[in-house]
Amino acid sequence: MATTATFTLSTPDFTGGGSFSVTTTLLKAGTSTGIDQFTGIARVYKAAATADISLVANGDYTDDKSHRLYVKNTSTTEPDTYVLMEVGSNEPIGRLFPGDWMYIPVDGTEDIKATTSAVGMSFEWGLFHEG
Amino acid sequence: MATVTAGLTLSSEDLTSNGLVLSTSGNLKKAGYKRTNLDNTTGIARKSTTSTDQYTIFYADEFTADKAHKVYLKNTSVVASEYFLVTLDDEPMGRLYAGDFAFFPWSATDGVKAAFTVTFANTWAENDTAVFDGVTITLGSTETTAAMVDLVVAAKYPNFTVAETSSTVATFTAKDSNDLSLIEEGAASDDYVVTTAGDGTGTVARTVAPVASANDIKITPSVATTMTLEHAVLYEL
């Protein structure tokens, strides 16, 4: 199994003239074996502002592994609306404004939740995991 | 700053039956209705670690809360078993194994910085001193009580900022909300210590109780041998 993730960042002012790019292969924790499970990409739509939408329930995944979570705010709502991402006991990670995305490691010991700040918001997400 | 574009491509030929290609990119913009471009960055930097202690990489105090900051982290190790556990304060988010990266928004919700006042009263005389945060203020031969606040405010303190509240009162504010020490007039090293030959006093009164920051970004290396984290924040004021 070979799944790769490539991150690019481009702006002349950020890197002094060129784009910045890193690529990694998604491997199982501490091994050279590729990740072999995936939730697929789900799309969530919330008609009302909704708190604590569970994306990763820690009980569903093995602890201390190398899971990876992708989330993108696909809303076309007002620019100041956001999806607040939180870990564990509602510890804020950050706000995904419309069009923003994130890609983070998840070790399976804490819940990952999302809260939409306004009506009619949507986001997509997927988890690459080890079971 | 010009437009900043961040992109992510996730691809696999064999994770799903028909292969997978997910590609997204977007301009990094400030929070709020206008959504102008992010215009500050720490630059891409590296931090080497040499123990399994927890290291704070970014202090929430140093960034404005609830903005559209973005954090980039990468474990540059080439040893498959080596990882950094990434936590937001004490909440573990995930393990960055060798070669892995992360890119995520950051709320940077900071704590509350302690503040206290010192009121100088009665008669201060030559060589009377006020000692705090490693800084000693000594009254000169031609100076009186009224000069104390001016001298105190003019000094530079490593862990506090200070401002003149009135001609007899100086207000100190901690630079770091994680400084939870109790500050009071006394003889302990972390207290405000006044030494006067006469009846001069420096009365301390806490005005703001500190609350520790709970959103610092921290890493814990898996091994005590050298590991290196690459990191950056793109942020707004």
Q: Which residue in the set A31, A94, A106 is minimally distant from B105, CB to CB?
A: A94
Whether residue B50 sits in one domain with residue B103: yes
Across all residues in chain B, what is the average pLDDT? 90
Q: Which residues of chain B does A99 touch, with a Cβ-Cβ cutoff of 8 Å?
A: 26-27
Kind of pairing between the strands at A37-38 and A121-129:
antiparallel
> Taking 90 as the threshold, does the pLDDT of residue B211 lie above it?
no
Range(s) of the domain holding residue B133: 115-208
Across all residues in chain A, what is the average pLDDT? 93
Whether residue B139 sits in one domain with residue B78: no
Give pLDDT tens digits for A73-124.
999 999 999 999 999 989 999 999 999 999 999 999 999 999 999 999 999 9
Distance CA A26, CA A35 (A): 6
Domain for residue A19, yes or no?
no
Residue B114: phi and psi, rounded to 5, are -65, 145
pLDDT class of B185 with cuts at 50, 70, 90: low
Q: In the structure encoding, which two tokens stand for residue A16, read together?
A: 């002094």
What ipTM describes this predicted complex? Answer: 0.95
A71 bridge partner residues: A102, A125
B20 and A3: CB-CB below 8 Å?
A: yes
Output the CA torsion sign for B13, B14, B18, B24. Answer: negative
Distance CA B58, CA B31 (A): 20
Q: Report the gap between the CA of A28 and the closest CA in chain B (Å).
A: 9
Domain for residue A55, yes or no?
yes
Q: Which residues of chain A does B104 touch, with a Cβ-Cβ cutoff of 8 Å?
A: 85, 93-94, 102-104
Domain for residue A10, yes or no?
no
Give pLDDT tens digits for B109-139.
878 888 999 999 999 999 999 999 999 999 9
The pLDDT value recorded for residue A73 is 96
Which CATH number goes with the domain that contains B18?
2.60.120.10
- The residue ranges of DSSP E strands in B63-200, in sequence order, are 69-75, 83-88, 91-97, 101-106, 115-121, 129-132, 135-138, 160-166, 169-174, 193-195
Whether residue B175 sits in one domain with residue B124: yes
Distance CA A15, CA B190 (A): 43
Total domains in chain A come to: 1
A104 and B93: CB-CB below 8 Å?
A: yes
CA closest to A105 among chain B residues: B94
B91 and A88: CB-CB below 8 Å?
A: yes
A95 and B107: CB-CB below 8 Å?
A: yes
User: Do residues B185 and B203 lie in contact, with contact meaning Cβ atoms separated by under 8 Å?
Assistant: yes
Domain for residue A14, yes or no?
no
Q: How many CA atoms lie within 13 A of A35 on its CB side?
A: 28
Q: Distance of alpha carbon A75 from its chain centroid, rounded?
A: 15
Whether residue B164 sits in one domain with residue B92: no
Which CATH number goes with the domain that contains A79?
2.60.120.10
Q: Nearest Cα to A1, choosing from B168, B19, B56, B52? A: B19
CA closest to A112 among chain B residues: B93
